[in-house]
Chain A
């Protein structure tokens, strides 16, 4: 089975940095995805980590430690449009296993 834990909610101010942690225990592991999902919309791809370490992509960075079953998504220079749910999803080849998501609220 799988167990994926991430905080339920986080609040930050515009321009700040927020780090969303995700711990996972899954049967089989190939890599880990992060998706962003605005209310009422489909998830959109943010990042995919296969190897340990930090992957930076603009204002978003994602980190993976396979041995610790741990990942985080770092959002820098927060903007109001970043208010959304962020989904951690480890994968075992053909399926994504999603966490419940972290709702990030950005305040002015």
Chain B
């Protein structure tokens, strides 16, 4: 079975632009979480969606938004990009609404110049 997939792999944007990152969970998983990992730090929680509903939000500004589709795939949108948004964006899926055993995708490397 395929694992969690994310697209694109790499992305370069300029300040002020908007970006959309995509994630497909493992087949049968209904929960998707998004994390931001800045170089040298651990991942920071952004959102969790379960059954298309937002279950939790981390300490990120409103420029960050997400949604989950009927097929449980998800998109993360970031508006008005800042240099500090440069990071690896990780998507994780799990079969339950709880955080038990989340499986991470390969991530999208976003560079803001």
Contacts and interface: CB of A to CB of B under 8 A. Distances in A.
- Our verdict on whether A and B bind, yes or no, reads yes
Interface residues of A, number: 23
Interface in B20-43: 33, 35, 40-43
Given A95-B45, A96-B33, 4 more contacts: A43-B104, A87-B43, A96-B43, A101-B42
Nearest to B104: A42
Contact of B101 (A48, A94, A100): A48
B42 A30 contact: no
A9 to B, nearest CB: 12
A100 B97 CA distance: 25
Contacts of A101: 41-42
Interface of A: 4, 30-31, 33, 35, 41-45, 48, 87, 89, 91, 93-101
Contacts of B45: 95-97
Interface in B29-78: 33, 35, 40-45, 48, 50, 55-56, 58
20 contacts: A4-B42, A31-B100, A33-B102, A42-B105, A42-B106, A43-B90, A43-B104, A45-B102, A91-B99, A93-B99, A94-B99, A95-B33, A95-B45, A95-B99, A96-B35, A96-B99, A97-B45, A98-B35, A99-B42, A100-B42
